[in-house]
Structure 1
């Protein structure tokens, strides 16, 4: 997996955190300005840590299933991408997203938006990728994209309405398809 593909992967993974940042930005009160940096930091930290955990699990299985790893990668990335797209269309517009914005919620949001990064870590174990470098890139890009989402939240919340998750889902599906086609010798 090339550096460019890792950056694309990171952008795709960051779309959930970006969408949550855009949605939560209007919930940050004037006395809570520190949350404009803390929330993106937590997103980046969790997105950086989860691939490492997934890689540790996947590394234990790499020798056993190396013949089928490209199918596993394709299936995981495809599932995550399609799930992101589906969730973008099934969000309840009536949910009050500003009910809570405390530390517990911020940690839960960071965990929830990083679960797909855990699955990515499993797939990285089957590829020749430096997981620490890739995880660092994923964390930094997630932080940056989430920070942009926080600061543009008021304007983007109205404009995007789920499109960020759709774009992220499409990127994940395309990366999974490319890896499958490479391993099958088609490209």
Structure 2
């Protein structure tokens, strides 16, 4: 391996870690719901697949539309996280124990979409520079899956400590992350 190849690998790993931290943060919030291990594994795999599909779409579209969709993807992702966070907080104050939004079915797809929208814009940018598609999407998906699992497992532990307040805390985390996407500081 030459220095350029090592630098490219290192750059892609750092980028995949940064994108995976979004999934970790969201997983931390969603992990405060009462989730079984089977659900946690499924959520991580779905998030990983979305973190492969979204940058792949971005890489393929590349230069043609990168200037138009970069900001829109962050806005849509931020709004979805605000919606999910608000619904989690609201349902934590309801007398029933069933949360309004759960990472199952359509809720899981919404969750995965909101966690991976930013990787679409990164894919657009990488498409301009001619990044290696297979390597890039593999790294993004793998790292996001691992970090989602870490976030979900940590959220699960926190949920046990906080009890009924954990869903509200998880909602606040999602709200904060949505605000961060909408208003980058």
Q: Same fold (TM over 0.5)?
A: yes
| Structure 2 gap segments, 5+ residues each | 1-6, 93-98, 160-165
Q: TM-score, normalised by structure 2?
A: 0.64
Question: What is aligned with 2:14?
Answer: 8
Structure 1 residues 39-50: aligned runs within 5 Å: 39-50=43-54
1:127 pairs with one of 129, 137, 149: 129
Distance in 2 (CA, whole Å) between partners of 1:44 and 1:56 is: 18
**CA deviation string 1:73-131 (max 9, x = no partner):** xxx59x95xx97xx89xx76944474232211011110111111111111111113102
| Structure 1 gap segments, 5+ residues each | 63-68, 174-187
Distance in 2 (CA, whole Å) between partners of 1:108 and 1:5 is: 29
Q: TM-score, normalised by structure 1?
A: 0.63
Distance in 1 (CA, whole Å) between partners of 2:89 and 2:38 is: 28
| Preserved contact between residue 50 and residue 117 of structure 1 (Cα < 8 Å) | yes
For these two proteins, the number of residue pairs brought into alignment is: 151
| Preserved contact between residue 26 and residue 173 of structure 2 (Cα < 8 Å) | no
**CA deviation string 1:24-72 (max 9, x = no partner):** 112134xx4311101111111000111111111115x39xxxxxx9xx6
Question: What is aligned with 2:101?
Answer: 100
- The RMSD of aligned alpha carbons is 3.7
Higher helix share: 2
